[in-house]
A = this chain, B = another copy of it.
């Protein structure tokens, strides 16, 4: 049942209003461009009458300062680059919102780059920084990419968010991934689960390796053996990836009684996969996710998960970057935010 694709003509009006520049405003107000500049930046004190006169002309002409001119002069674009691996993932979307709120409050706009969509998009977008088309960047991309940035960008301003190397020299904000994973797996063990599988994502991500470490640490602490074949890695963070991972796991004869997934999307996919093979959550298999996206409470049973303070991660990253841009030479602290294990019906 497909509707035909069609084309419908649209008439388009032609209102050619020439861009007025600061010169024109100055002329009409009978002042110099310098004075107009002072007015629009309300920097130095301008005589009230003069100010009003200028403002009147500005209003009348509908004048807007051309950012390009200003940017060139002041050598800043007031644009912030944000590189996310995949903004289809609700987790990243919420972080970006946090970034955006701070940026806007500080008079910046956010240039968003989905680096998942294509090869070497990172390079392309990093050019923006070198070009000074963006004043700074927040990078949520995998460590492999961050390493390139580190080596290529000299004095360019950027900070890492969620994905970071604690021992590197780039300011960062994130959570203690190893500890968080440890907490989740320890909980599963405490509930009597013995064969706990790990559903991991792309190990180009440091967080992925960190969480795996936490997983193994927790197993050891609980006196459990790692499940042979129970350490599955999906290439991404898709629902379908989680689902197929489960299918594969069962096909290969591995039979966990619990699954710890490094993302809610993977976990939700896994729950579906478990249903496919006729198992019940949590009776047959318990599932714990990671992130605490809204969807967690929309699946049946509701998904237990490690909550990350998504919004605050974004907010903090943006603040860190601001700080860094204001004082490039200053030493910047890395920030570790708290996580929380949220228990719902899936465990």
**Residues of A that sit less than 8 Å from B by CB:** 1-17, 19, 64-69, 71-72, 75, 77, 79, 87-88, 90, 93-94, 96-97, 100-101, 104, 109-114, 117-118, 121, 124-125, 127-128, 130-133, 154-155, 166, 168-172, 175-176, 179-180, 183, 187, 238-240, 243, 268-269, 272, 275, 294-295, 297-300, 328-341
Decide if B298 touches A131 in the complex (CB within 8 Å). Answer: no
* Chain B residue nearest in CB terms to A167: B10
* Majority secondary structure of chain A interface residues (helix, strand, loop or mixed): mixed
Decide if B11 touches A331 in the complex (CB within 8 Å). Answer: yes
Say yes or no: A111-B111 contact (C-beta < 8 A), given A8-B166, A10-B331, A93-B88: yes
Of the listed residues A68, A166, A272, the one surrounded by the most CB atoms of chain B closer than 10 A to its CB is: A68
* Assembly CA distance A241 to B124 (angstroms): 39
Query: Which residue in B12, B65, B97, B109 is a CB contact (below 8 Å) of A117?
Result: B97
Say yes or no: A3-B118 contact (C-beta < 8 A), given A10-B334, A16-B155, A155-B16: no
Shortest beta-carbon distance from A75 to chain B in Å = 8
Contacts of A117 in B (CB 8 A): 97, 100-101
Decide if B114 touches A100 in the complex (CB within 8 Å). Answer: yes
Contacts of A97 in B (CB 8 A): 88, 114, 117
Shortest beta-carbon distance from A295 to chain B in Å = 7
Say yes or no: A68-B12 contact (C-beta < 8 A), given A3-B338, A100-B114: no
* Assembly CA distance A64 to B132 (angstroms): 9
Decide if B334 touches A2 in the complex (CB within 8 Å). Answer: no
Of the listed residues A93, A111, A169, A238, the one surrounded by the most CB atoms of chain B closer than 10 A to its CB is: A93
Query: Which residue in B66, B96, B300 is a CB contact (below 8 Å) of A114?
Result: B96
Q: A275-B300, A299-B299 are in contact. List 11 more A-B contacts (CB 8 A).
A: A5-B338, A10-B169, A12-B331, A17-B154, A66-B131, A79-B111, A88-B97, A93-B93, A240-B294, A240-B298, A269-B298
Contacts of A272 in B (CB 8 A): 297-298, 300
Decide if B101 touches A118 in the complex (CB within 8 Å). Answer: yes
Decide if A3 touches B176 in the complex (CB within 8 Å). Answer: yes
Decide if B239 touches A295 in the complex (CB within 8 Å). Answer: yes
Contacts of A71 in B (CB 8 A): 68, 72, 133
Shortest beta-carbon distance from A122 to chain B in Å = 12
Contacts of A75 in B (CB 8 A): 68
Decide if B15 touches A155 in the complex (CB within 8 Å). Answer: yes
Decide if A68 touches B64 in the complex (CB within 8 Å). Answer: no
Contacts of A332 in B (CB 8 A): 10, 12
Shortest beta-carbon distance from A89 to chain B in Å = 8
Contacts of A128 in B (CB 8 A): 67, 109
Query: Which residue in B77, B109, B298 is a CB contact (below 8 Å) of A125?
Result: B109
Decide if B180 touches A67 in the complex (CB within 8 Å). Answer: no
Decide if B6 touches A336 in the complex (CB within 8 Å). Answer: yes
Shortest beta-carbon distance from A25 to chain B in Å = 15
Decide if A337 touches B114 in the complex (CB within 8 Å). Answer: no
Decide if A94 touches B88 in the complex (CB within 8 Å). Answer: yes
Decide if B118 touches A7 in the complex (CB within 8 Å). Answer: no
* Chain B residue nearest in CB terms to A155: B15
